[in-house]
Amino acid sequence: MLTKKMRELLLLIHERTKDGDVPPSFDEMKDALGLKSKSGIHRLITALVERGYIERLPHRARALQIKKLPEGYRPPETDVTSAASKARAINDVYRAANTESVPLYGKIAAGTPIEAIRDEGRSVDIPATILTRGRHYALTVEGDSMIKAGIHDGDTVIIRETESVHPGDIAVALVEDQEVTLKRIRFAGTKIVLEPENDAYEPRVLNPDQVRFQGILAGLYRLYH
């Protein structure tokens, strides 16, 4: 059985995709259904998937496909003009369907550490599947010291905020409260080792009072031009 909001969302996606268009974004769905946050849309889509009404298609943007419609549904009679207007309105709704917005705090060194640049006014949209539990932020990588871990100059790394790290984690380390770097974390006795993933760079061995961890790597987002 579908709730009222499930039915509304299902028909919204159906109207958008029935003529081959892409589904609406999460922001568009949220606005169309009068919800306050995109988390409500996530829950509705999950419920529709579980009930067999829609299917998520892997490796495709806005990858939602209608599998069936509510029992007894009949499409409304519309003229060409109103149908086109509705299609345009729904088109404005699904641009962020499978994305989440996280703050972009600036640049982080994957080479020689640089001062963190924190810009609260910027954000980046990333696939929602990258995110785990907790608060997240994004940083732009500068340098090549983590290339053996698949992290390249210009990549955007997604960081889950935490001060707790484990050996082998790739973490954001604030060194002596003034420079920040992304490195593999090792421990040697009472020392903290910031270990690069590039043989051209040397590990840095520091005392615990010299390092404060600000998060661990949750994902990586790369654009190909």
Q: Which of 67, 86, 66, 68 is nearest to 76 (CA)?
A: 86
Contact 142, 193 (CB under 8 A): no
**Domain 99-221, CATH number (from 2.10.109.10, 1.10.10.10, 2.102.10.10, 2.30.42.10):** 2.10.109.10
| Cβ–Cβ < 8 Å for 22, 61 | yes
The DSSP line for 112-150 is S-B-----TT-EEEEEGGG--SS-EEEEEEESSTTGGGT
Q: How far is CA 119 from the centre of its chain?
A: 18
Under the banding of pLDDT at 50, 70 and 90, the label for residue 223 is low
Q: What is the pLDDT of residues 89-126, one digit of tens each?
A: 555 544 445 667 888 887 887 665 544 545 556 787 77
pLDDT digits (tens, 9 = 90+) for 204-216: 999 999 999 999 9
Q: Which residues of 44-61 are buried (b: 16+ CB within 10 A; e: fewer)?
A: bbebbeeeebbeeeeeee
- CATH architecture of the domain formed by 4-91: Orthogonal Bundle (1.10)
Is the overall model pTM greater than 0.85, yes or no?
no
Contact yes or no for 142/107 (Cβ under 8 A): yes
Q: What is the amino acid identity at position 151?
A: I
The rounded distance, in Å, linking the Cα atoms of 183 and 132 is 20
Q: Which residues pair with 143 in a beta bridge?
A: none
Which residues have C-beta within 8 Å of that of residue 162, sequence separation ≥ 6? 134, 213, 215, 216
Q: Which two tokens stand for residue 109?
A: 């060194």
Please identify every residue annotated as catalytic.
145, 183
- Inter-helix orientation angle 80-91/4-17, to 10°: 110
pLDDT tens profile 47-83: 888 888 888 877 555 678 888 888 777 766 544 445 5
In this predicted structure, what is the pLDDT of residue 81?
Answer: 46
Q: Give domain limits for the chain.
A: 4-91, 99-221
pLDDT of residue 115: 47
